[in-house]
C-alpha cells in the first residue's frame, strides 16, 4: 500500500493538520469548548441518573485491597465530577501524588498524559541519527523524544518520538518489542527479507523483539510508543521476525481493525470500541479490563473517566495516553462512545 495513495474517510479529532515542512511546531492540545462541555456534562448527568453504579472507593488503599461497596447517592459522584471538570486539565502527566510509575504501581494508581504533553516543542533533541551511530544512507534525519517516565510498568515504558525525513539500515536485532501509533507523517519499515510495511497517520505499528531491517521516513514523523522488554518469542515459520501494520481508524481501501492486531505472548496489541457504561475493575476482573497485566491506552475518540480506588479521577479524551499498572482497581466510566488502541504487557 503506497502511503501517497491512501485517503481518509474521516479522522479522529486529535489528528494535527498537514505536516508538510513541519519541524518543531507545537502539536495542538485537545481541549473541549464551553458549549461542548456543557452538552457533555448534561449527557453524563442523565447517564449517571440512569446507571449510577453501586461501587464506592474506600477512604484508604492498602496493598491490593479491592474496592468496597458503598451506598453513595448519585448526586455525590455527579457533583464531584462537576467540580473536577471546572478545573483546568494540566499539560503534565497525572501521577496522583506519585513521583514515578514504580510508586504509582505500588499504590495501584493509573498514569495519564494529555496529547499536549507530547507537543513537538516539548520533545528533547537527540541530534542526528548518523551522529548516534545509525547507518544512514538517505538524507540527514534528526530525531526528538520524550518519555512519560524512565521507570517501567511490567517491563514496559511509554513516550513519544519524532524524526525528520531520511532512511537508515537497522541490522541489529531489537532487544524489545515496540508498538507505536502514528500521530502524523509517513514512513516505511522493511523486514530483513525485503517485505515493506508502509504506514501513516492512525496506523498502529508493531516491531517485535528480534526484528531487524530498514527504516525510511518519507514525511516528518511523530508517534507515541510503548516499548516492552520481555523474554524471547518464536519467529515465523520462515525464521523471519516481521513488522505488523494495521489502521486504527477507517481508511478508504483499508479494512478497519477491531480486536487483536498482534499477540506475541508477552505483548498483545489491539483496537477496541468502548460503549457508554460503567465498569468496576476488581482484582478478579477478567476480559478486556483484566488487572492481571499492565494496560496502555491511546484514546482515539470519545470521552471516558478513570477513577482510582482512592477516588481520584481523570477525564480522558481523544489524543490522551493512559497507563493502568498491573493490579489496578477502580472505575471506568465511558461517557461518550470511545475507541482506543490498547497494549497489554506481562
Provide the mean pLDDT of the chain.
Answer: 78
Which positions ≥6 away from 231 have C-beta within 8 Å? 266
Cell reading at 126: 537527540
Query: Mind listing the pLDDT tens digit for each residue in 56-71?
Result: 333 332 233 333 333 3
Per-residue pLDDT for 89 more than 50?
no
The answer to whether residue 103 scores a pLDDT higher than 90 is no
Name the helix (H) or strand (E) containing 21.
none
Looking at the predicted structure, is the pLDDT value of residue 52 above 50?
Answer: no
C-alpha–C-alpha distance, residues 194 and 190, integer Å: 6
User: What letter would DSSP give residue 148?
Assistant: S
pLDDT at 317: 97
The neighbouring-strand residues paired with 273 are 339
Q: What is the pLDDT of residue 16?
A: 54
Classified as helix, coil or strand, 222 is strand
Task: Tell me the C-alpha distance between 289 and 187, whole Å.
Answer: 32
pLDDT in tens, 225-279: 999 999 887 777 788 999 999 998 766 555 566 789 999 999 999 999 999 999 9
Half-sphere exposure of 149 (CA within 13 A, CB side): 23
pLDDT of residue 64: 30
Look at residue 68 in the predicted model and tell me its pLDDT: 31
As a whole-number percent, the residues of the chain with pLDDT over 70 amount to: 66
In sequence order, the 6+-apart residues with CB closer than 8 A to the CB of 161 are: 123, 143, 144, 145, 180, 222, 223, 225
Tell me what pLDDT residue 105 has. Answer: 44
- DSSP one-letter code for 103: H
Cell 475493575 -> residue: 281
Query: Which tens digits make up the pLDDT trace of 196-225?
Result: 999 999 999 999 999 999 999 999 999 999
pLDDT in tens, 282-298: 887 788 999 899 999 99
**DSSP reduced 3-state for 341:** strand
What pTM did the predictor assign? 0.73
Phi, psi angle pair for 5, to nearest 5°:
-105, -5
pLDDT band at residue 72 under the 50/70/90 scheme: very low
Q: What span, in angstroms and rounded, lies between the C-alpha atoms of 279 and 333? A: 7
Residue 157: the pLDDT is 94
- What is the model's pLDDT at position 153? 87
Report pLDDT digits (tens) over 168-184: 999 999 999 999 999 99
Residues with Cβ within 8 Å of 36's Cβ and at least 6 positions away in sequence, in order, are: none
Q: Decide if 141 contacts 153 (C-beta within 8 A).
A: no
- Between CA 29 and CA 23 the distance in angstroms is 17
> Is the model more confident about 51 or about 291?
291
CB 214 within 8 Å of CB 190:
yes
Map grid coordinates 517485535 to a residue: 208
Q: What is the rounded average pLDDT of the residues 10-32?
A: 44
Residue 98 forms beta bridges with which residues?
none
CA angle 316, 32, 75 (to 5 degrees): 65
**How do beta strands 166-170 and 135-139 pair?**
antiparallel
pLDDT at 149 over 80: no
Average pLDDT over residues 295-324: 96
**Which of 21-25, 73-77, 294-298 is predicted with the least confidence, judged by mean pLDDT?**
21-25
Mean pLDDT along residues 140-156: 89
Residue whose C-alpha is closest to residue 189's, from 220, 227, 215: 215
Q: What is the separation of C-alpha 204 from the centre of its chain, rounded to a whole number of angstroms?
A: 10
**Res. 6: pLDDT tops 50:** no
Element housing 80 (H / E): helix 74-85
pLDDT at 137 > cutoff 90:
yes
Amino acid at each position: 500500500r503506497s502511503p501517497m495513495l491512501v485517503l481518509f474517510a474521516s479522522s479522529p479529532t486529535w489528528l494535527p493538520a498537514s505536516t508538510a515542512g513541519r519541524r518543531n511546531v507545537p502539536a495542538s492540545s485537545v481541549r473541549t469548548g464551553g458549549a461542548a462541555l456543557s452538552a457533555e456534562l448534561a449527557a453524563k448527568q442523565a447517564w449517571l441518573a440512569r446507571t449510577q453504579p453501586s461501587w464506592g472507593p474506600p477512604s484508604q488503599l492498602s496493598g491490593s485491597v479491592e474496592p468496597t461497596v458503598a451506598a453513595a447517592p448519585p448526586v455525590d459522584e455527579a457533583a464531584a465530577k462537576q467540580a473536577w471538570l471546572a478545573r483546568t486539565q494540566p499539560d503534565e502527566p497525572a501521577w496522583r501524588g506519585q513521583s514515578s510509575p514504580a510508586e504509582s504501581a505500588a499504590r495501584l494508581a493509573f498514569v495519564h498524559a494529555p496529547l499536549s504533553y507530547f507537543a513537538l516543542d516539548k520533545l528533547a533533541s537527540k541530534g542526528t541519527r548518523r551522529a548516534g551511530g545509525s547507518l544512514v544512507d538517505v538524507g540527514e534525519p534528526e530525531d526528538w523524544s520524550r518519555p512519560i517516565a524512565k521507570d517501567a510498568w511490567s517491563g514496559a515504558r511509554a513516550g513519544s518520538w519524532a524524526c525528520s525525513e531520511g532512511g537508515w539500515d537497522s541490522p541489529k536485532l531489537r532487544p524489545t518489542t515496540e508498538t507505536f501509533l502514528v500521530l502524523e507523517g509517513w514512513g516505511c519499515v522493511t523486514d530483513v527479507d525485503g517485505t515493506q510495511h508502509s504506514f501513516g497517520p492512525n496506523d498502529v505499528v508493531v516491531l517485535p523483539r528480534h526484528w531487524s531491517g530498514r527504516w525510511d521516513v518519507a514525511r516528518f514523523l511523530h508517534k507515541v510508543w510503548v516499548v516492552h522488554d520481555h523474554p524471547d518469542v518464536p519467529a515465523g515459520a520462515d525464521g523471519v521476525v516481521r513488522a505488523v501494520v494495521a489502521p486504527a481508524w477507517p481508511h478508504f481501501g483499508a479494512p478497519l481493525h477491531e480486536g487483536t492486531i498482534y499477540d506475541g505472548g508477552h505483548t498483545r496489541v489491539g483496537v477496541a470500541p468502548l460503549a457508554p457504561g460503567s465498569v468496576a475493575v476488581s482484582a478478579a476482573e477478567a476480559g478486556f479490563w483484566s488487572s492481571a497485566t499492565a494496560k496502555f491506552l491511546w484514546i482515539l475518540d470519545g470521552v471516558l473517566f478513570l477513577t482510582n480506588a482512592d477516588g481520584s479521577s481523570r477525564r480522558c479524551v481523544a489524543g490522551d495516553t493512559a497507563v493502568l499498572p498491573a493490579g489496578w482497581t477502580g472505575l471506568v466510566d465511558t461517557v461518550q462512545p470511545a475507541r482506543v488502541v490498547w497494549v497489554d504487557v506481562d
